[in-house]
Amino acid sequence: MKKKMNPTHTEITRMSTSPEIGTLLTSLRELIQTARSQAVHAVDLVQVRTCWTVGQHIVEFEQGGAVRAAYGKRLLADLAESLTVEFGKGFDERNLRHMRAFYTEFPIWNALRSELSWTHYRSLLRIEESAARLWYMNEAADQNWNTRALDRQMGTLYYERLLTSQDRQPVREEAAVKTAELALMPREFIRDPVMLEFLGLPNTGRLLESKLEDALISNLQAFLLELGKGFAFIARQQRISTETMK
């Protein structure tokens, strides 16, 4: 029986550069990229709707009369104590405050931009002026800004500079260049700590890094041990302090 051989690098390169395979690869790339983007958007939309609705329930409960008002400042703390036990850090008191503020500042669900994530809206809540907040929301959606780009534009007072500028085109061009440098790949959303908290997986990113570190160090340790005398493996993690000599 003839043994099946794996294709060589040269053969793979020749296959991928042929017109037929090139067309197929282009189609598959577009399909995968679209699917990833849709998956990210679906999770984002569910999270935004959940956070908005949680905020709505809290606000309506607080407005329910004297009996409910008696809960006062303890309401969010008490809710958080129960919810974090069952659903994790994504529903701690700090995040419940954000959700309440989210509903308060954006009370009309249909007025929200579905293109934006909960992390976007968390950033938008830092803006006190309602007109500026709405402008940043719409601009972030229209320009497809990720949260890093939105934070950059807010931090550089992009809206305010446009309002006061006599020539807005250079301001817009500079912003476009800077935000393009902050583009994220679709898979990077799983490292978003806000998303991980919402899903009840706050340490997932750290666990992935830890597994990678363990794998690298284990291989390095085995390699050094094989070298024999003259080499030492001191520890998996060792702090080394140095002083600059004058």
Per-residue pLDDT tens over the stretch 128-155: 999 999 999 999 999 888 888 899 889 9
For residues 170 and 66, state if they share a domain: yes
For residues 114 and 213, state if they share a domain: no
Q: How far is 95 from 2, CA to CA, in rounded Å?
A: 63
For residues 30 and 137, state if they share a domain: yes
For residues 128 and 82, state if they share a domain: yes
For residues 190 and 102, state if they share a domain: yes
Q: What is the pLDDT of residue 237?
A: 61
Residue 151 lies in a domain: yes
Residue 80 neighbours by CB under 8 Å, 6+ apart:
91, 92, 93, 96
Residue 246 lies in a domain: no
For residues 113 and 176, state if they share a domain: yes
For residues 209 and 180, state if they share a domain: no
- Using CA atoms in the order 199, 201, 205, 211, what is the torsion angle rounded to 10 degrees? -140
Is the predicted pLDDT of residue 95 greater than 90, yes or no?
yes
For residues 57 and 148, state if they share a domain: yes
Residue 222 lies in a domain: yes
Helices (H) then strands (E): counts for the chain: 12, 0
Is the predicted pLDDT of residue 83 greater than 70, yes or no?
yes
Stated pTM of the model: 0.66
For residues 190 and 222, state if they share a domain: no
Residue 4 lies in a domain: no
Is the predicted pLDDT of residue 178 greater than 50, yes or no?
yes
Q: What is the pLDDT of residue 136?
A: 95
Residue 16 lies in a domain: no
Q: 233 is written with which tokens?
A: 């493996």
For residues 188 and 209, state if they share a domain: no
Q: What is the mean pLDDT of the chain?
A: 77
Q: What is the pLDDT of residue 245?
A: 46
Per-residue pLDDT band for 246 (boundaries 50, 70, 90) equals: very low
Q: Which of 101, 57, 104 is nearest to 83 (CA)?
A: 57
Residue 15 lies in a domain: no
Residue 209 lies in a domain: yes
Domains contained in the chain, number: 2
Provide, rounded to the nearest whole percent, the portion of the chain with pLDDT above 70: 61
Q: What is the pLDDT of residue 35?
A: 82
Give mean pLDDT, residues 219-241: 60
For residues 35 and 81, state if they share a domain: yes
Give mean pLDDT, residues 72-98: 90
For residues 124 and 98, state if they share a domain: yes
Residue range of the domain that includes 217 = 203-239
Residue 121 lies in a domain: yes
Q: What is the pLDDT of residue 198?
A: 64
